[in-house]
Structure formats: structure tokens, C-alpha cells
């Protein structure tokens, strides 16, 4: 008889068996997966675990504060806030290819974790919130030949070079099971219900070249969009919602002057596990009100579109 309570006990024991008395660092992204992994591992081995939260300059508005508030202040875990904005953003400067962006970000994550593994006094393990769909999507697609659609940086042999072994206690779980485990572990509902957020962050929501200006515009638009979704009581019905800033400026008119600003796309999908998805059928009123707010409140955007592509043939993220 399989219950989450039993799974938890089994997982705690498996972590203790794997890790022994060694130190572990856990990459925290602020997403549900890495949060649940961190809380589970902390329960298993206490302060042998240090969480490393890497601020790569590609986070959403207010994200760093929320994560720090939760793990450092509420859970009181050993916690490193690695402010690496300059490192990541300068390495991404001028890059526009999606896989190149992921590779640069993945490599820098390794460098940063490695640095902190030695700071922490020789951590031997790196913990990640890898889920079952991450494992299969990176191996094959629909049982066909092995094709990598997107090289999620948080999957696969990356730590071989690092001399760290992986601890991946969620590797057999789907998202809904991770959320159930998070509830079992007592994580606040507001955290468990959060939409997924990709490791490469806003880099893959900024197709084409990433600039600090575009990132700032994107953060503002995204915050308004999510605020609208919450105000209309739709957040929990949606698997994931975000804004992508498009690599194109378009002509508009504000008052009696011409504007030449960025276009953006709103994305919202329903899904069970992220493997397939349908676009969310917002009302025209919602879309109109949201577009008006974004254009009025965000300097730098003068056109808003809604992405009505499902997965497949689209993917959830734009890159
Ligand atoms: P796609 O865009 O492939 O996304 O349909 C499926 C789910 O995975 C997330 N995603 C990523 N997560 N690193 C991550 O940690 C990545 O490189 C990455 N790419 C996509 C995406 O946000 C969605 O939840």
C-alpha cells in the first residue's frame, strides 16, 4: 500500500545511506522541485546540507527575496546566496542561440557550485531536484530515436567533471507527486503551488540576444501578468504562465506620439506533467485588460500578443 508518508521514510533512509557523514550542497532555484529536494535532504541529514542559491541575474522580480526568506529565515538552513549576476550576464552577452545559452549557463552553474563545494569544506555530493520527466525528456521522445529537444542543464552527467556525486531524491516522481511530498513535508501551500520556473530562468524567455534592458522590461511585464492572473483567481488553474520579450520592436502610438518599442508574448498553459500542454483559454476581457496594463505600466513595451500554441508541436518555453 503506497503512500507519500511511506515514500518519505524510504527516501530519507536512501539519502542517509547514500551520503553517510559527508557534506552535500543543494542547488536551490526557488522552484518547487529543488525546494522539496532541499527540505527532504535537510530532514535526512540536517546541517550536513548547505543550500546554494545562485542569482544568475535571470530571476523574476522579487524572487531572490522570497527564496532567501523561506530557506534562510524560515527553515534556518545553512544557506549561501551566490550573487553571480555579472558572471552570467557578461558570459551571455551577444549570445542568441538557445542551446548555446543553456550550455553557458550550465557550465557556469558547475563553476559556481564547485567553488562553493570547496568553501563548504569539501562537499562530496550535489543535490538536485531532477524529476522523472526531466530524465525521460533528455533521453528519448515518444519512444522514438534518442533526440535532445532541450539540454536541461540540471540533468545528466554534469558533475562527473566536478568530482561530486549526484543526489536526486525526486528522480522517480512526477510533478504532482513532488507537490504531494512537499505537502507531506509541511512546505507552505504558497510554495508548493508555485508555477515551475526553468533553471536558465529569463534567458530562455528572451529569445535572441539578452540585454539588461530587456531583462528589466521582461521582469516588469511578467510581474503584472502574474498579478492579473492572481487577481482573477486563475493562478492555480494554470500549470505555468510567463511573459517572453520578443527580439523585435514595433511601431505604436501613445497619446499623440509615435513609439517604437518591444513586442511581448504572454504564455499560459495547462498540463499534468509538462510533457504535453494546452494553451489556457483566457477570456478576451482578461487578455485585453492585461495588455492595456502592460503597455501603460511598462515603458519599453508597446505591443502584447497571446501565444495559442499547444505542446506538441510547440514547447512550453520559447527556447
Ligand atoms: P518545455 O519548454 O521543454 O518545458 O516544454 C517543459 C518544462 O520544463 C521547463 N524547462 C526547463 N527547466 N531547465 C529547467 O530546469 C531548462 O533548461 C528548461 N527548459 C524548459 C519548462 O519551464 C517547463 O516547465
**Residue ranges per structural domain of the chain:** 4-192, 206-306
Whether the pLDDT of residue 82 is over 80: the answer is: yes
CA-wise closest residue to 243 among 221, 271, 260, 228: 221
Nearest-CA residue for ligand 1 atom 7 is: 274
Q: How confident is the model at residue 152 (pLDDT cuts 50, 70, 90)?
A: low
Bridge partners of residue 258, in order along the sequence:
253
- Burial (CB count <10 Å: 0-12, 13-18, 19+), residue 202: buried
Mean pLDDT value across residues 29-57: 94
Position 160 confidence tier, pLDDT thresholds 50, 70, 90: low
Distance CA 300, CA 249 (A): 9
Q: How far is the CA of 304 from the centre of ligand 1 (A)?
A: 23
**Residue 201 has which C-alpha cell?**
530562468
Residue 139 is predicted with a pLDDT of: 53
Query: Which pTM was predicted?
Result: 0.90
With residue 227 as reference, give the H or E element that holds it.
helix 212-231
Instruction: Give the closest residue (by CA) to ligand 1 atom 12.
Output: 198
Q: Find the helix or strand (DSSP H, E) in which 81 lies.
A: strand 79-83
Give the sign of the dihedral formed by CA 195, CA 213, CA 53, CA 319.
positive
Q: In this predicted model, what pLDDT tens digit does every residue of 250-298 receive, in sequence order?
A: 999 999 999 999 999 999 999 998 999 999 999 999 999 999 999 999 9
Q: DSSP 3-state assignment of 256?
A: coil
Q: Report residue 173: phi and psi, to 5°.
A: -105, 150
The pLDDT value given to residue 120: 86
How far is residue 63 from each of residues 201, 223, 238, measured CA to CA in Å?
11, 11, 19
Q: Does domain 4-192 have CATH number 1.20.140.10?
A: no
Strands 49-55, 165-167: pairing kind: unpaired
User: Is 96 labeled as ligand-binding?
Assistant: no
Ligand 1-lining residues (CB < 6 angstroms): 102, 150, 152-154, 196, 198-200, 240, 274, 311, 315-317
* CATH code for the structural domain at 206-306: 3.30.300.10
Name the percent of the chain lying above pLDDT 90. Answer: 77
Spatial contact of 206 and 214, defined as CB atoms under 8 Å apart: yes
Checking if the pLDDT of 158 tops 50, the result is yes
Pick from 154-168, 200-214, 234-248, 285-299: least confident: 154-168
Question: What is the C-alpha to C-alpha distance for residues 269 and 240, in angstroms, rounded to an integer?
Answer: 6
Beta strands in 106-181 (DSSP E): 125-127, 165-167
Of 125-134, 203-212, 237-246, the poorest mean pLDDT is in 125-134
* Residue owning the nearest CA to atom 6 of ligand 1: 274
Q: Is ipTM over 0.85?
A: yes
Weakest mean pLDDT among 47-56, 119-128, 209-218, 295-304: 119-128
- Can you tell me the mean pLDDT for 155-162? 59
62: left (phi over 0), alpha (psi -120 to 50) or beta: left
Q: Rounded to the nearest whole angstrom, what is the distance from the C-alpha of residue 257 to the centroid of ligand 1?
A: 40
Q: What pLDDT, on the 0 to 100 scale, is given for residue 190?
A: 86
- Indicate if the alpha-carbon torsion angle 163, 169, 175, 179 is positive or negative: negative
138 is in an annotated binding site: no
Ligand 1 atom having least distance to the Cα of 196? 24
Amino acid at each position: 500500500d503506497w503512500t507519500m508518508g511511506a515514500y518519505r521514510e524510504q527516501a530519507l533512509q536512501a539519502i542517509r545511506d547514500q551520503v553517510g557523514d559527508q557534506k552535500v550542497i543543494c542547488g536551490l532555484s526557488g522552484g518547487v522541485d529543488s525546494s522539496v529536494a532541499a527540505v527532504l535532504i535537510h530532514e535526512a541529514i540536517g546541517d550536513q546540507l548547505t543550500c546554494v542559491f545562485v542569482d544568475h541575474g535571470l530571476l523574476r522580480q522579487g524572487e531572490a527575496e522570497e527564496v532567501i526568506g523561506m530557506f534562510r529565515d524560515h527553515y534556518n538552513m545553512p544557506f549561501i546566496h551566490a550573487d553571480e549576476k555579472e558572471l552570467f550576464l557578461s558570459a551571455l552577452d551577444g549570445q542568441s542561440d538557445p542551446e548555446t545559452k543553456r550550455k553557458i549557463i550550465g557550465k557556469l552553474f558547475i563553476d559556481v557550485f564547485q567553488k562553493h563545494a570547496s568553501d563548504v569544506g569539501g562537499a562530496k555530493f550535489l543535490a538536485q531536484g531532477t524529476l522523472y520527466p526531466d530524465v525521460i525528456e533528455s533521453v528519448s521522445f515518444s519512444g522514438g530515436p534518442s533526440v535532445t529537444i532541450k539540454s536541461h542543464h540540471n540533468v545528466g552527467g554534469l558533475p562527473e567533471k566536478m568530482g561530486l556525486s549526484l543526489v536526486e531524491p525526486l528522480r522517480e516522481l512526477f510533478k504532482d507527486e513532488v507537490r504531494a511530498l512537499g505537502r507531506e513535508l509541511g512546505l507552505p501551500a504558497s510554495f508548493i503551488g508555485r508555477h515551475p520556473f526553468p533553471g536558465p530562468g529569463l534567458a530562455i524567455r528572451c529569445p535572441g540576444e539578452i540585454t539588461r534592458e530587456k531583462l528589466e522590461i521582461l521582469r516588469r511585464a511578467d510581474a503584472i501578468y502574474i498579478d492579473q492572473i492572481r487577481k482573477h483567481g486563475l493562478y492555480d488553474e494554470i500549470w505555468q504562465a510567463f511573459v517572453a520579450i520578443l527580439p523585435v520592436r514595433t511601431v505604436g502610438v501613445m497619446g499623440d506620439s509615435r513609439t517604437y518599442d518591444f513586442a511581448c508574448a504572454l504564455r499560459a498553459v495547462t498540463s499534468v506533467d509538462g510533457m504535453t500542454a494546452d494553451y489556457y483559454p483566457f477570456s478576451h476581457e482578461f487578455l485585453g485588460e492585461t495588455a492595456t496594463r502592460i503597455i501603460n505600466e511598462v515603458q519599453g513595451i508597446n505591443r502584447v500578443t497571446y501565444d495559442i500554441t499547444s505542446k506538441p508541436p510547440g514547447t512550453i518555453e520559447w527556447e
